[in-house]
């Protein structure tokens, strides 16, 4: 019986677990902000508090936005020990040009998604499965962009592009 249990546990550890892409994205943003030690007020006011940076009803934008909102709503004393969001991204998020803001958000999401993939030590199979789900989510998000008020995003969605291109 014990040998059977050990064999089952070994097989369970060897088999890749399915990755929920939406929870992965929320945690990627949340953990990335914690690692950076981002200024919670800045995140709340300049990212989470700007719904125009996100496509409504997009399966990628929603968990990304939730990650920023959760972090921004946290207590200032809970801030991590990092140096903050990279200055070039902060400057671009403050830039009045909308396209510059959107590209900055894309870089930030890409940074956090890539870092979270490494943090979780995803296998190649898990990475491929996650990438496939993110690509499907991106296609749906682009449809939502065209149907919603975010037509001024141009031909991209910053959250979708950042999430789907992260290696």
CA angle in degrees (0–180, nearest 5) for 84-85-91: 120
Count: domains in the chain? 1
Residue 11, domain member (yes or no)? no
Residue 85, domain member (yes or no)? yes
Label residue 7 by pLDDT band (50, 70, 90): very low
Write down the pLDDT at residue 92. 96
Q: Which residues, 6 or more positions from 58, have their beta carbon under 8 angstroms from its beta carbon?
A: 137, 140, 141, 144, 145, 157, 159, 160
Which pair of structure tokens corresponds to residue 98?
């909308």
Residue 72, domain member (yes or no)? yes
Residue 13, domain member (yes or no)? no
Residue 12, domain member (yes or no)? no
Neighbours of 135 (CB within 10 A): 14
Which pair of structure tokens corresponds to residue 42?
């800045």
Label residue 13 by pLDDT band (50, 70, 90): very low
- Average the pLDDT over 10-19 and give the result: 49
Write down the pLDDT at residue 96. 93
Residue 109, domain member (yes or no)? yes
Total residue count of the chain as it appears in this document: 167
- Per the structure, the complete domain to which residue 51 belongs is given by 21-165
Checking if the pLDDT of 88 tops 70, the result is: yes
Residue 47, domain member (yes or no)? yes
CA dihedral 71, 72, 75, 81 (to 10 degrees): 60
> pLDDT digits over 32-75, tens only?
999 999 999 999 999 999 988 998 888 999 999 999 999 999 87
Tokens 């962009």 belong to which residue? 145
- The per-residue pLDDT of the chain, averaged, comes to 83
Residue 10, domain member (yes or no)? no
> pLDDT digits over 116-142, tens only?
999 999 889 998 999 999 999 988 888
């Amino acid at each position: 019986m014990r040998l059977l249990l050990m064999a089952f546990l070994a097989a369970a550890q060897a088999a890749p677990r399915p990755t929920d892409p939406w929870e992965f994205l929320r945690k990627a943003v949340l953990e990335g902000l914690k690692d950076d030690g981002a200024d919670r007020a800045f995140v709340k006011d300049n990212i989470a508090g700007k719904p125009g940076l996100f496509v409504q009803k997009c399966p990628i934008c929603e968990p990304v936005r939730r990650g920023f909102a959760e972090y921004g709503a946290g207590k200032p004393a809970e801030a991590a020990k990092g140096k903050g969001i990279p200055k070039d991204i902060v400057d671009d998020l403050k830039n009045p040009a909308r396209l510059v803001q959107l590209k900055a958000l894309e870089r930030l999401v890409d940074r956090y998604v890539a870092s979270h993939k490494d943090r979780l030590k995803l296998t190649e199979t898990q990475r491929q499965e996650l990438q496939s789900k993110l690509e499907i989510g991106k296609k749906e998000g682009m449809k939502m962009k065209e149907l919603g008020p975010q037509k001024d995003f141009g031909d991209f969605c910053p959250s979708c592009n950042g999430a789907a291109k992260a290696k």
